[in-house]
Amino acid sequence: MVNRGTINYLNWVFGACLLVCAGRPLLAVADEVASDALALKNAEQSEGLAETEKVTPDPEKQIPVTASTFVCLQELHAVRGFFVGNLLGKLEETVAAATQPNGATYPAGSVVQLIPTEVMIKHRKGWNPATRDWEFFELTVSQAGSKINVRGTTEVINKFDGNCFECHQKAAPQWDMICEHDHGCDSLPIPNFVIRMIQDGDPRCE
């Protein structure tokens, strides 16, 4: 029997391959099919998202984020295996939170990334208590830059059918929804070396 975990794993491998094996004809076709499926899912999702956003996040606490907010991973600050930035010029505070041995609440403006296409951004306190003021983003990146496919709070699904919030909320409270390897989240079924390849292959860095 093929369980959900196996399907997710295959999806990850497939997705990782699309990122690192770009240029092969078979994958180009597969990519097209995958994009169609994604476009459909996004269309369904943005309807649901519009409702959620109407009731929860507080627009006055929102930090403006557009596609041009997102930059090449190497322009961010590396902390262990991931990257951080701060949209309000408070990089030191974000780095301090990320390097606290017992965890800390990240300051407003924090940008956190593991791979080029998935991002967490911290809005101002009170923006959306359920996600501890984090907004989740799923992007498409290319040499031309970044495109936001999906953004929001508890409803954002990644390309592999995983809900960002559901996974990240499993991190023990002192880690402020940051998973890393041992904070209590379900692991990513994708080996570290593939993550490193994806990080090194960010097409926006050229």
- Position closest to ligand HEC via CB: 162
C-alpha dist (Å) from residue 183 to 40, 98, 112, 167: 33, 13, 16, 11
CA 67 to chain CA mean position, Å: 14
| Contact flag: residue 155 with ligand HEC (CB under 6 A) | no
| Contact flag: residue 49 with ligand HEC (CB under 6 A) | no
Sign of CA dihedral 174, 84, 123, 55: negative
| Contact flag: residue 114 with ligand HEC (CB under 6 A) | yes
Please report how close the Cβ of residue 25 comes to ligand HEC at its closest, in angstroms.
Answer: 28
Among 37, 40, 51, 81, binds ligand HEC (CB under 6 A): 81
How far apart, in whole angstroms, are the C-alpha atoms of residue 201 and residue 206? 10
How far apart, in whole angstroms, are the C-alpha atoms of residue 134 and residue 88? 15
Please report how close the Cβ of residue 169 comes to ligand HEC at its closest, in angstroms.
Answer: 10
For residues 87 and 109, the answer to whether their CB atoms sit within 8 Å is yes
Binding mask 20-39 for ligand HEC (x = CB under 6 A): --------------------
C-alpha dist (Å) from residue 188 to 6, 76, 191: 12, 22, 8
Of the chain, the end-to-end C-alpha distance in Å amounts to 44
Please report how close the Cβ of residue 183 comes to ligand HEC at its closest, in angstroms.
Answer: 7
| Contact flag: residue 87 with ligand HEC (CB under 6 A) | no
| Contact flag: residue 136 with ligand HEC (CB under 6 A) | yes
For residues 8 and 160, the answer to whether their CB atoms sit within 8 Å is yes
Among 158, 198, 202, 204, binds ligand HEC (CB under 6 A): 158
Which residues lie near ligand HEC (CB under 6 A)? 81-82, 112-114, 118-120, 136-138, 156, 158, 162-164, 167-168, 178-181, 185-188, 195
